[in-house]
Amino acid sequence: MSYRQALDEAIGHSPVSTVDVDRIIFRQRRARRLRMWGAGGAGAAAVLAVTLAAGLLGGPQPSPAPPAVPPSPSVLPIPSHPPAPRITTVAGAEADWQRLEAAVEASLKRTAPSIRWPDSTAPGLDRPGWQSGSRGGWTTVDRFSVNGEIVADGKRGDLLLVVKRQGLVGFHSSRCERMSKMTIDCVEAAGPDGSRIRTSIMDMGSRFTPPLTVELLRADNSAVTLTLRGHTPPGPLPLTVEQLITIATDPTLNLGPLPPGVEVPVQTLPPSAPADPAQQERLDKAVIAALRAQIPDVTSSAALEEAWTGSGGDNDSDNYWGQAPITNGKTRPALFSVQIWRKSPSSGSLTCGRPSGSYSCRKGEGPNGEQYRIVTTISGKGNTRTGERSIDVRRKDGSWLNVNHASGGTGPTFALTEQQQLAIALSSTLTLAPQ
């Protein structure tokens, strides 16, 4: 089966692409990863500031044969857009949120005229009823996001769209050669006006439609990311890859200028630290031991030691990254990850935004003077609610740790309780070797 055939089965028919792209896939590594995971793989895209988890299937389900792995595409469509009008709103202001919400809605309607909003409270389902992440605690001068359910041509899916002022580090960290075991395919191309475009497809197992992610990094380092997942049972997604790229490259999806007197540090890529395979192996074992101390029978889609991987992140003398989908036997396997930095990956502050129905945050202090923050985000409504819990820890020596966990069921339901996840985050064994 060709890539186009497999893609059309997942997302519906799409027009022929016309622009050549640079291939950044290591075929041997990808084939080995996919053989290891087979049909049982489950996970979520690592570039997201928020993880999208698929809902549980009701009752026992058949186990169909693993889908054929498609080869990589050789082309991506690069659309053209008219110049965007000058932005007159200021980032972080209510008027800027409203402008961006209207721009997203207009872009979706231009790209997919049949689109509807099943979550809408407006008559006729002609206006989005989704939630705006900018009002759920995000730093609004730097980031804007919306998420919710969409329907087009009878196909349903959940869409997350994020606009960031500084996207260089995130785009670099999710590059194709660092894709995780769950990635079916990843392609990067030159976009308009010096931008870069990346598309990736995640393997959620044979019972779930593969989620699609499109990332755009503009020449000014601002970024747009769209992730679309389907509803169960598996079926075509409401938007094609081409349509997602068209939306991502829409120049109206841009944050307003910063308020007077506000400055945002420009991101630069740090120099690479030397590799430290011994440290990675030690921390892999320490994380798994910490997990089992909280859930003795914790498992994954495969044996946990086999499923645990450092793919998709940095592992060197100054950084650690590991991830795997986990389950306590009652939840669907969902992504769990641990990341450690010797130096703070951000400004070093642990702040909470305004609470909302989709966002909660609390701060505290650990037994050794660590400062921690627990952020829980919720997507969807009613029986389709899924979530993600992220715990950041800033230690007294300046190192930083993040433990992230996606829900393994609707509700949302997590394999780990908040206290169990916090116990792992505060574990004294999860530390980098002294310099």
Residues 184, 99 share a domain = yes
- Say what the pLDDT of residue 145 is: 87
Query: Does residue 253 lie in a domain region?
Result: no
Residues 121, 30 share a domain = yes
Residues 303, 214 share a domain = no
CA 179 – CA 189 distance, rounded (Å): 16
Strand partners, 298: none
Residues 298, 237 share a domain = no
Residues 223, 101 share a domain = yes
Mean pLDDT value of segment 348-369 = 86
Residues 33-43 have pLDDT tens digits of: 332 222 223 33
CA 245 – CA 2 distance, rounded (Å): 21
- Say what the pLDDT of residue 309 is: 86
Query: Does residue 59 lie in a domain region?
Result: no
Residues 292, 150 share a domain = no
Residues 285-324 have pLDDT tens digits of: 999 999 999 999 998 877 888 889 886 567 888 889 899 9
Query: Does residue 256 lie in a domain region?
Result: no
340 to 230, 281, 367, 368: CA distances (angstroms): 32, 14, 19, 17
Residues 205-215 have pLDDT tens digits of: 656 677 899 99
Query: Does residue 364 lie in a domain region?
Result: yes
Residues 282, 237 share a domain = no
Residues 97-152 have pLDDT tens digits of: 889 989 999 999 999 999 988 765 555 555 666 665 544 445 468 888 888 889 89
The model's pTM is 0.53
- Say what the pLDDT of residue 42 is: 30
How high does pLDDT run on average in the chain? 75
Between residues 35 and 424, which one has the greater pLDDT?
A: 424
Q: What percent of the chain has pLDDT over 90?
A: 35
Nearest to 152 by CA among 222, 239, 230: 239
- Say what the pLDDT of residue 247 is: 96
Mean pLDDT value of segment 325-350 = 82
Residues 24, 73 share a domain = yes
Residues 136, 8 share a domain = yes
Could you tell me the end-to-end alpha-carbon distance of the chain, in angstroms, rounded to an integer? 50
Among the three residues 211, 232, 248, which one is the final residue of a domain in this structure? 248
Q: Is the pLDDT of residue 251 over 90?
A: yes
- Say what the pLDDT of residue 65 is: 38
Query: Does residue 435 lie in a domain region?
Result: no
Q: Is the pLDDT of residue 276 over 50?
A: yes
**What confidence category does residue 178 fall into, taking pLDDT thresholds of 50, 70 and 90?**
low
Residues 84, 142 share a domain = yes
Query: Does residue 58 lie in a domain region?
Result: no
- Say what the pLDDT of residue 1 is: 35
Mean pLDDT value of segment 333-346 = 84
Query: Does residue 271 lie in a domain region?
Result: no
Mean pLDDT value of segment 324-349 = 83
- Say what the pLDDT of residue 64 is: 38
Task: Give the residue numbers spanning the domain of 33.
Answer: 3-52+68-248
Neighbours of 165 (CB within 10 A): 21
Strand bridging mode 212-217 / 183-190: unpaired
- Say what the pLDDT of residue 289 is: 96
Query: Does residue 63 lie in a domain region?
Result: no
Q: Is the pLDDT of residue 69 over 90?
A: no
Between residues 410 and 163, which one has the greater pLDDT?
A: 163
Among the three residues 192, 227, 248, which one is the final residue of a domain in this structure? 248
User: Is 144:163 a contact under the CB 8 Å cutoff?
Assistant: yes
Residues 309, 207 share a domain = no
Residues 378, 420 share a domain = yes
Side-chain-side CA neighbours of 411 within 13 Å: the count stands at 11
Buried b or exposed e, range 379-400, using 16+ CB within 10 angstroms: bbbeeebbbbbbbbbbbeeebb
- Say what the pLDDT of residue 356 is: 83
- Say what the pLDDT of residue 250 is: 95
Measured in whole angstroms, how far is the alpha carbon of residue 310 from the centre of its chain?
16
How many domains, the chain?
Answer: 2
Q: Is the pLDDT of residue 170 over 60?
A: yes
